[in-house]
Amino acid sequence: MVTMSTRRIVALLGISLFFTFAGVSMVIEGRQGGWPVFLIFLCFAVVFITSHFAARSQSEKPLSIIEAYPKPVTLNGQRGRNLLSALACCGVSSAFIFALLSSPPLTGSVVLYFVLSVIFGVPAFVLATAAIKPNRLTLDSKGLVFSSLFHTRQWIWQDVQDFKAISTATQGKRVTKIKETIGFNDRNARNSDRLRKQIGRTTSISNQFGISDDELASALNSWRLRSVTD
* pLDDT for the residue numbered 144: 95
Percent of the residues in the chain that have a pLDDT greater than 90, as a whole number = 26
pLDDT of residue 152: 92
How many CB atoms sit inside 10 A of residue 57's CB? Answer: 7
Over range 30-54, report the average pLDDT: 69
Is 90 exceeded by the pLDDT of residue 156? yes
CB-neighbour burial class of residue 6 (10 A; exposed 0-12, middle 13-18, buried 19+)? exposed
pLDDT of residue 91: 73
pLDDT above 90 (res 230)? no
Residue 48 has pLDDT above 90, yes or no: no
Neighbouring C-beta atoms of residue 107, cutoff 10 Å = 7
* pLDDT higher than 90, residue 159: yes
Asked if residues 36 and 29 have their Cβ atoms less than 8 Å apart, the reply is: no
**Calpha distance 136→142 (Å, rounded):** 17
User: Region 2-29: what's the mean pLDDT?
Assistant: 74
Average pLDDT, integer, range 19-30: 81
- For the whole model, what pTM was predicted? 0.65
pLDDT of residue 24 exceeding 90: no
In degrees, rounded to 5, the angle at the alpha carbon of residue 11 between the alpha carbons of residues 9 and 12 is: 65
The pLDDT value given to residue 29: 81
Please give the pLDDT value at position 65: 86
Per the model's pLDDT, the better-predicted residue between 227 and 229 turns out to be: 227
* 165: DSSP letter: E
More confident site: 101 or 159: 159
Determine if residue 76 is left, alpha or beta; phi over 0 gives left, psi from -120 to 50 gives alpha, anything else beta. Answer: beta
Q: What is the pLDDT of residue 107?
A: 54
**169 vs 123: which has the higher pLDDT:** 169
Q: What is the pLDDT of residues 54-90, one digit of tens each?
A: 544 444 456 588 888 889 999 988 766 666 777 777 7
164 — pLDDT class (breaks 50, 70, 90): very high
Q: What is the maximum span of the chain, computed from C-alpha positions, in angstroms?
A: 72
What's the DSSP call for residue 159?
G
**All domains in the chain, ordered by first residue:** 6-53+79-132 (no CATH), 62-77+134-229 (2.30.29)
What is residue 126's predicted lDDT score, i.e. its pLDDT? 75
Which of 16-30, 40-54, 107-121, 130-144 is predicted most confidently? Answer: 130-144
Q: Is the pLDDT of residue 199 over 60?
A: yes
3 state SS of 99: helix
Bridging pattern class, strands 160-165 and 181-186: antiparallel
- The secondary structure of 163-210 as a DSSP string is EEE--EEEETTEEEEB-SEEEEEETT-SSHHHHHHHHSSSEEEE--SS
Label residue 205 by pLDDT band (50, 70, 90). Answer: very high
